[in-house]
Amino acid sequence: MTDSTLEPTGSDPSLHAPEASPSVGGAGSVVMRAVGHVQSPRTEPIDDDWDGITATIHLDPSQFTEDSLEGLDAFSHIEVVYVFDRVEEQAITTAARHPRGNRDWPMVGVFAQRAKGRPNRIGVSICNLIRVEGLQLTVSALDAIDGSPVLDIKPYMQEFAPRGEIRQPDWSRELMAGYWTCPEPLKDR
Amino acid sequence: MTDSTLEPTGSDPSLHAPEASPSVGGAGSVVMRAVGHVQSPRTEPIDDDWDGITATIHLDPSQFTEDSLEGLDAFSHIEVVYVFDRVEEQAITTAARHPRGNRDWPMVGVFAQRAKGRPNRIGVSICNLIRVEGLQLTVSALDAIDGSPVLDIKPYMQEFAPRGEIRQPDWSRELMAGYWTCPEPLKDR
């Protein structure tokens, strides 16, 4: 499952924008075109333990040359904007709910959590850039599964880090405890 | 100029997806629907001095209720995904160029800089959340101009900060020097 998600999957012809250059359409709609896709050993959506994953981002050779990546290797980290394209429309919840269904945590709205079942299904993640070769970027700990369409790649600059004191609720720290490095009980499964 | 950018601006009917729920269309195209828009005192794209700007994000009441923002006020910072919708297609460069046209800096590809003239025109920014009232979020130092369509809002969690040593080229630090707080010479203009 690599290129398959970049093939047509919609059935409504109105969704098939011919050239799909970025455009603001009707009723606040925006048409975007994937700039590439993720190739990852992780093929199923699993919530935790992303640290061990090394993935590759393949830029679309019909749109880009190596020129578009010139100078990127001077950065240690990149920010990847991608689509949770395996999320079905009916799995998109906007109403408040317990994150991961855990009743020990409060009910929060979709914009107060980072769950993948969200409007527009956009994922944004900062990962380590290991290597740039041609139109391929090798990255570690990118939390996107195999085949995910990539919408943008930005270099990470420290100046874009949040400024001032950071405050976040306890539930979010508990949820994130195993996100990168898996806690032992899950590793034993 | 507030709601105007959410009105139809395209002329190609194929871009006017009827309901524009998130869908992967043909040839790797993805149709998104703005979840809201930015209201900002800054109406022109200016590169620097964003710290003094207080803006409001208005969620679309036809899609959301206050429930979608439940619990967000427990976070000090949010990540906003928006569209540089005032960028014309011909201003989108993928080839390497000097950031901001400054010849003292190296030629870098579009994915090695964060310029707004980029494929899919997506901006991602972390800003301070000051207040949530109904469907309005008041934020400070959001680097999106008035009317920008918003695609997603995510709570900022420290665990999503880059891990390991951060490396970035000197030109990026020089470019960012006046991004938040303006250097005196520009302030005097």
Give per-residue pLDDT as tens, A107-122. Answer: 999 999 999 999 999 9
Residue A179: which pLDDT band, with cuts at 50, 70 and 90? confident
Binary contact (A161, B126; C-beta < 8 A): yes
| ipTM score of complex | 0.84
Cα distance between residue A163 and residue B51, in whole Å: 10
Q: What pLDDT is stored for residue B2 in this prediction?
A: 37
Q: What pLDDT is stored for residue B47 in this prediction?
A: 73
Structure pTM?
0.84
The distance of A79 to chain B (nearest Cα, Å) reads: 9
Residue B182: which pLDDT band, with cuts at 50, 70 and 90? low
Residue A181: which pLDDT band, with cuts at 50, 70 and 90? confident
- For the CA atoms of B42, B87, B23, A153, what is the dihedral angle to 10 degrees? -90
Residue A184: which pLDDT band, with cuts at 50, 70 and 90? low
Taking residues A13-24, report their average pLDDT.
41
Looking at residue A159, the DSSP 8-state letter turns out to be G
The distance of A153 to chain B (nearest Cα, Å) reads: 6
Contact list in B for residue A170 (CB cut-off 8 A) is none
Residue A187 in this model has a pLDDT that exceeds 50: no
* Structure-model confidence comparison of residues B182 and B81, the more confident one: B81
Query: What is the chain A residue with the closest CA to B115?
Result: A154
Taking residues B131-135, report their average pLDDT.
98
Residue B109 in this model has a pLDDT that exceeds 70: yes
* Structure-model confidence comparison of residues A185 and B56, the more confident one: B56
Q: What pLDDT is stored for residue A118 in this prediction?
A: 96
Taking residues B80-93, report their average pLDDT.
93
Residue B18 in this model has a pLDDT that exceeds 70: no
Cα distance between residue A123 and residue A160, in whole Å: 18
Could you read off the pLDDT of A62-72 as tens digits, one per residue? 999 999 999 99
Residue B34: which pLDDT band, with cuts at 50, 70 and 90? very high
Binary contact (B168, A176; C-beta < 8 A): no
Minimal Cβ distance to A109: which of B8, B67, B163: B67
